[in-house]
């Protein structure tokens, strides 16, 4: 492992104009592959570059890994049912609630929250599926008919 690191350091020093990604790919082609995070730590050390900021680390995470629980939330299949999701902003400890019936409405409302409030770190909690209750009973319909209202 030490030999690989020494060879990678020499490769970095020999190619001052190449970017980190280009040197990483070049090292892999030459059989000097080490872990990507270890390589970039070594790259920053050799070129005297600062550590990435928290914002930069957040941006480097692919979108599909940022909110993995949103796609795994169950969607109501029966008519008259809806789902409830709580979205918590961990930085400010504020929670937002979403009531949805389809996956499309869930994602749309989630995007509205992200756009309007611009939370940094989100935590999604599924609160369950509920059903709407019909207030229309036989007695109620009879009273409506008596009053002249036809349903």
- List per-residue pLDDT tens for the chain, 151 residues long: 678 889 899 999 998 899 989 999 999 998 888 888 899 999 999 999 898 888 888 777 776 566 546 778 889 988 889 999 998 888 888 899 999 999 999 999 999 998 998 887 788 888 889 988 766 778 888 888 888 887 6
Q: What gap in Å lies between CA 21 and CA 40, rounded to an integer?
A: 9
Is 146 within the bounds of a domain? no
Please tell me whether residues 36 and 70 are part of one structural domain: no
Number of domains the chain is built from = 2
Please tell me whether residues 67 and 117 are part of one structural domain: yes
Q: What gap in Å lies between CA 98 and CA 110, rounded to an integer?
A: 8
pTM: 0.46
The 3-class secondary structure across 40-67, one letter per residue, is HHHHHHHHCCCCCCHHHHHHHCCHHHHC
Is 38 within the bounds of a domain? yes
Please tell me whether residues 47 and 67 are part of one structural domain: no
Please tell me whether residues 47 and 81 are part of one structural domain: no
Please tell me whether residues 44 and 15 are part of one structural domain: yes
């Amino acid at each position: 492992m030490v030999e690989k690191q020494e060879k990678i350091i020499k490769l970095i020093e020999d190619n001052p104009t190449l970017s980190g990604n280009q040197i990483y790919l070049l090292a892999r082609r030459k059989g000097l592959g080490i872990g990507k995070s270890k390589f970039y730590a070594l790259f920053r050390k050799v070129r005297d570059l600062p550590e990435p900021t928290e914002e930069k680390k957040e941006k480097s995470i692919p979108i599909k890994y940022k909110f993995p629980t949103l796609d795994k939330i169950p969607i109501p299949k029966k008519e008259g049912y809806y789902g409830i999701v709580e979205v918590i902003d961990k930085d400010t400890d504020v929670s937002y609630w979403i009531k949805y019936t389809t996956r499309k409405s869930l994602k749309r409302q989630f995007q509205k929250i992200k756009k309007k409030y611009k939370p940094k770190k989100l935590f999604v909690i599924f609160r369950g599926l509920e059903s709407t209750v019909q207030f229309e009973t036989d007695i109620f319909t009879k009273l409506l008919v008596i009053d002249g209202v036809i349903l």
